[in-house]
Amino acid sequence: MASPLPPYASPQQRFWYYAFRVICGLIFFYLIFPILVIIPLSFNADNFFTFTPKMLAFDPDGYSLKHYQDFLTSPDWQQALRNSFTIAPVATIVATVLGTLAAIGLSQSHVPAKSLIMAILISPMIVPLIISAAGMYFFYSRLGLQGTYWGVVLAHAALGTPFVIITVTATLVGFDRSLTRASASLGADPITTFFKVQMPLIMPGVVSGALFAFITSFDEVVVVLFVGSASQKTLPWQMFIGLREQISPTILAVATVMTALSVVLLITLEGIRRRSERLRGLSPS
Amino acid sequence: MSSATDSMAPTGRPADGIMRAADGTPLKVSIARALRREKLRALLLILPLLVFIILSFVLPIADMLFRSVENQIVSETIPRTVVALRDWDSRSGELPDEAVFAAMQADLTEAFEAKAHTRLGLRLNYEKSGMSSIFRKSGRPVADLQPPYKDGFIKIDDGWGDIETWVVIKRASPAYTAGYFLAAADLEQTSQGIQRVPENERLYIMLFGRTMWMSLLITFCCLLLGYPLAYLMSHVRRSTANLLMILVLLPFWTSLLVRTSAWKVLLQQQGVINDTLVWAGLVANDGRLELINNQTGTVIAMTHILLPFMILPLFSVMQTISPTYVRAAKSLGASDWTAFWRVYFPQTIPGIGAGAILAFILAIGYYITPELVGGTQGVFISNRIAYHISSSLNWGLAAALGTMLLVLVIILFWVYDRMVGIDNVKLG
């Protein structure tokens, strides 16, 4: 159906060939359109959520940056932005350091109770967020961590580690163990071997794991709603409250900024993936 | 381990028949020691994260499981009454004797000073409505009561003269209770045993049913939309496939809140979709479609959010299917449809299974999107859990509902693990 149409195709086959592509086009439209449509809408000069006649006529008066201005001047959004950028990096560092060490440990050939350990370490990714949020809310309030900065960082770091483990383990699968032996035989101690030999080779996995952990924390809203308090509100928290209570077009401006950030992350990740494939000789191109 | 093997050659085979390493220890011992060291090193590397996850994640979950049965508040707040009630037969049809009332007077006086009596009332209110007001009303006056306490209590609130009140207190006395789980299954403990709650109060079974049914519908929609895309992507040139992959990954990487806000904007009555339909004349201006704050909204938005999770496993399976099978089928006279349905489709079933279970697991635990676009008819069990944590403060019931959801997810994941293997989870 989708492979190149042979010259002997019957009219019916021709019809299906094109119909199939149209259907796929429509599905791609469904996937992408909602993300793209908020970009022009965020430049709306009025407080509407639809295209005004002026916008459709491409009248410059129909467009403005006022929602972006609002985002950059409103204290609520500024606090949320600050919180997001103080919580996510710390959670990412904790998740990446612990996750990388554990992934290296897990990739050794003799690990007792490996599948049990793996199941525990991956569990934050499997358990529905609302359940994690409920459990953390109950437990952290007992410890006095509920509503604190460190409570949110701990929770986000826990949610991010499975991604680090998965990405780093994937790079370690192709890791040649004789390299560390060679390094040891040349007189390097284990720490030198780790930083000079192993680390540079598994770096792509570590970086993409860190990006996953960052985006997990940066996008996370359910856990922060419960574990955090008003002074830890992050961008997604503020968006959630905004969408639920008093929906204002500023949200569209924030959404556009966040989409731009995701695109940057996606491009970075794709670059890392290609580089690592080239380095490991997986694809000749 | 390597040092032991290397040193075998110079040592050779000694006279006593035991192979020895360079330092003279038997080779077996030496290898075992090296193995132990290796295991220890691996465990030491894993340990920090394991401790971290147990402290920050596993214990909280365990705490939630514990809270779903924990019930120490009653025996802690009114300890004397709990002891005194042990001798009272709740089926006797008579009120407890004066000793119980005296114990209650002493307990409530203390509880009032510690301001714990309203919390206890709230707790007992989950068992029987009206209990909360009895306790709230009795807190202050109880301290001044003089014997006989029984008449004094009944004068403060008629509720104390009702046998049911005492039945509820006695039933709620044990330190652990199945009451929250019963409530989560729309059941209640009455004097006639466990019964279903009255029809108009049944909620959770319906909500679980709706969560399951809508998650299935969403999974099916994802499959319906994801299959053709994965098929197309695995049958075009590699460069085109990479480009299409980016179109799939972009929504995958875009913030959940961004996508939900987009749908909130698009689906409104005054939103882009309705405006377009009115402009195209498909819908009258006064007959704009209700696409949001109902089940339709939840299905449209969640299918969009979960679609990449369906496409990625489908695509990775379809990529490995050799085109020669379909060609062979066609050369043997199969029509396009038969070749697809009888030869190609069965080979994609592992991908369908993996994608469907993944999408279903993610769907049944969703909270944010149903909360924002689901209205009252399109919400899931998660929304009810959140409601009990932050609004009604019935944490025990929230924990019981959470436990039930967790068990469901673990069963599904076990199936997923058997089918796909948890190690094969791939990202992007």
Q: What is the pLDDT of residues B277-327, one digit of tens each?
A: 888 888 888 888 888 888 999 999 999 999 999 999 899 899 889 999 999
Sign of CA dihedral A167, A168, A169, A174: positive
**In a 10 Å sphere around its CB, with 0-12 CB exposed, 13-18 middle and 19+ buried, how is residue B41 labelled?**
middle
CB A74 within 8 A of CB A67: no
Report chain B residues whose CB lies below 8 A from the CB of A165: 49
Global pTM value: 0.85
Distance, CA of B4 to CA of B19 (rounded, Å): 10
Average pLDDT, chain B: 86
Task: Spell out a b/e string for B283-293, using b for 16 or more CB atoms within 10 Å of the CB, else e.
Answer: beeeebeebbb
Distance, CA of B213 to CA of B29 (rounded, Å): 60
- Token pair, residue A196, equals 């000079």
The DSSP H or E segment spanning B241 is helix B238-253
If one counts every other C-beta atom within 10 angstroms of the C-beta of residue B417, the result is 17
User: Does residue A54 surpass a pLDDT of 80?
Assistant: no
Q: What is the pLDDT of residues B136-182, one digit of tens each?
A: 888 788 777 777 788 888 888 888 888 888 888 888 888 888 888 98
Q: Chain B closest CA to A146's CA: distance in Å?
A: 12
Q: Is A58 left (phi over 0), alpha (psi -120 to 50) or beta?
A: left
| Rounded mean pLDDT, A247-273 | 87
Q: Which of A137, A155, A166 sits opposite B427 (nearest CB)?
A: A166
Q: What percent helix, strand, coil does chain A show, rounded to 5?
A: 75, 0, 25
CB B306 within 8 A of CB B359: yes
User: Does residue A44 surpass a pLDDT of 70?
Assistant: yes
Alpha-carbon torsion, ordered B137, B141, B143, B148, to 10 deg = -100
Q: Which of A51, A98, A123 sits opposite B272 (nearest CB)?
A: A51
Report chain B residues whose CB lies below 8 A from the CB of A8: none
Residue given tokens 């972009």 in the structure block: B250
Report chain B residues whose CB lies below 8 A from the CB of A23: 228
- Chain A residue closest to B67 (CA)? A138
| Rounded mean pLDDT, B340-365 | 91
Q: Which of B53, B366, B399 sits opposite A120 (nearest CB)?
A: B53
| Rounded mean pLDDT, B260-269 | 88
**A50 and B56: CB-CB below 8 Å?**
no
Partnered with residue B70 across adjacent β-strands are B176
User: Does residue B362 surpass a pLDDT of 60?
Assistant: yes
User: Does residue A95 surpass a pLDDT of 90?
Assistant: yes
Contacting A residues, span 86-115, partner chain B, CB-CB under 8 Å: 94, 98-99, 101-102, 104-106, 108-112
Q: Does A270 touch chain B (CB under 8 A)?
A: yes
Quickly state the pLDDT bin for A61 (edges 50, 70, 90): confident
Distance, CA of B66 to CA of B49 (rounded, Å): 24
**A262 and B266: CB-CB below 8 Å?**
no
Residue A265: closest CA among A206, A225, A210, A186: A210
Q: Which of A30, A117, A252 sits opposite B265 (nearest CB)?
A: A252
Write phi, then psi, for A236 (nearest 5 degrees). Answer: -60, -35
DSSP assignment of A38-70: HHHHTTBSSS-SS--HHHHTT-GGGB-SHHHHH
Q: Which of B50, B246, B247 sits opposite A121 (nearest CB)?
A: B50
**B406 and A240: CB-CB below 8 Å?**
no
Quickly state the pLDDT bin for A102 (edges 50, 70, 90): very high
**A131 and B64: CB-CB below 8 Å?**
yes
Instruction: Give B213 or B428, the one with higher predicted confidence.
Output: B213
CB B195 within 8 A of CB B188: yes
Report chain A residues whose CB lies below 8 A from the CB of B265: 37-38, 41, 49-50, 252
CB A105 within 8 A of CB B46: yes
CB A190 within 8 A of CB A122: no
Q: Give me the amino acid identity at B306.
A: L
Q: What is the pLDDT of residues A158-194, one digit of tens each?
A: 999 999 998 898 888 777 888 888 998 999 988 898 8
- Chain A residue closest to B38 (CA)? A110
Report chain B residues whose CB lies below 8 A from the CB of A191: none
Write phi, then psi, for B193 (nearest 5 degrees). Answer: 95, -170
Q: Chain B closest CA to A28's CA: distance in Å?
A: 7
**B53 and A158: CB-CB below 8 Å?**
yes
Which of B207, B258, B273, B276 should one mutate to test binding to chain A, selecting the residue with the greatest count of A CBs within 10 A? Answer: B258
If one counts every other C-beta atom within 10 angstroms of the C-beta of residue B81, the result is 25
Q: What is the pLDDT of residues B367-399, one digit of tens each?
A: 999 999 988 888 899 999 999 998 888 889 999
Task: Spell out a b/e string for B307-336, using b for 16 or more CB atoms within 10 Å of the CB, else e.
Answer: bbbbbbbbbbbbeeeeeeebeebeeeebeb
- Which range has the worst mean pLDDT, A53-57, A106-110, B52-56, B383-387? A53-57
Q: Which of B59, B364, B368 sits opposite A240 (nearest CB)?
A: B368
Report chain A residues whose CB lies below 8 A from the CB of B423: 118, 169
Distance, CA of B381 to CA of B405 (rounded, Å): 8
Q: Chain A closest CA to B422's CA: distance in Å?
A: 8
Across the A:B interface, residue pairs with CB atoms under 8 Å apart total 282
- Chain A residue closest to B344 (CA)? A1
Quickly state the pLDDT bin for A284 (edges 50, 70, 90): very low
User: Does residue B404 surpass a pLDDT of 90?
Assistant: yes
**B49 and A135: CB-CB below 8 Å?**
no
Predicted local distance difference test score (pLDDT) of residue A138: 92
For B92, half-sphere exposure in the C-beta direction (CA atoms, 13 angstrom radius) is: 10
Q: Does A149 touch chain B (CB under 8 A)?
A: no
User: Does residue B239 surpass a pLDDT of 60?
Assistant: yes
**3-class SS of residue B22:** coil
Q: Does A13 touch chain B (CB under 8 A)?
A: yes
Distance, CA of B426 to CA of B406 (rounded, Å): 23
Question: Strands B193-196, B187-190: parallel, antiparallel or unpaired by DSSP?
Answer: antiparallel
User: Does residue B332 surpass a pLDDT of 90?
Assistant: yes
User: Does residue A145 surpass a pLDDT of 60?
Assistant: yes
Alpha-carbon distances of B286 from B145, B280, B296, rounded to whole Å? 67, 14, 20
Residue B375: closest CA among B303, B299, B278: B299
CB A137 within 8 A of CB B389: yes
Predicted local distance difference test score (pLDDT) of residue A34: 92
Predicted local distance difference test score (pLDDT) of residue A285: 35
Q: Does A20 touch chain B (CB under 8 A)?
A: yes
Predicted local distance difference test score (pLDDT) of residue B422: 60
Alpha-carbon torsion, ordered A268, A273, A276, A277, to 10 deg = -150
Average pLDDT, chain A: 87
| Rounded mean pLDDT, A107-113 | 82
Query: What is the interface pTM, i.e. ipTM, of the complex?
Result: 0.87
CB B406 within 8 A of CB B187: no
Residue A234: closest CA among B293, B92, B255: B255
CB B270 within 8 A of CB B253: no
First to last CA, chain B: 37
Q: Give me the amino acid identity at A52.
A: T
CB B123 within 8 A of CB B109: no
Write phi, then psi, for B194 (nearest 5 degrees). Answer: -80, 125
Predicted local distance difference test score (pLDDT) of residue B425: 55
Alpha-carbon distances of A38 from A15, A51, A255, rounded to whole Å? 35, 10, 8
Predicted local distance difference test score (pLDDT) of residue B25: 83
- Which range has the worst mean pLDDT, A103-107, A218-222, B72-76, B205-209? B72-76
The DSSP H or E segment spanning B188 is strand B187-190
Q: Give me the amino acid identity at A83.
A: N
Which of A39, A41, A104, A130 should one mutate to test binding to chain B, selecting the residue with the greatest count of B CBs within 10 A? Answer: A130
Cis peptide before B148 (omega within 30 of 0): yes
Q: Which of A49, A120, A236 sits opposite B268 (nearest CB)?
A: A49
CB B306 within 8 A of CB B222: yes
User: Does residue B29 surpass a pLDDT of 80?
Assistant: yes
Predicted local distance difference test score (pLDDT) of residue A282: 53
Q: Which of A32, A102, A158 sits opposite B56 (nearest CB)?
A: A158
Alpha-carbon distances of B254 from A260, A261, B268, rounded to whole Å? 9, 9, 21
CB B329 within 8 A of CB A91: no
Quickly state the pLDDT bin for B14 (edges 50, 70, 90): low
Predicted local distance difference test score (pLDDT) of residue B13: 58
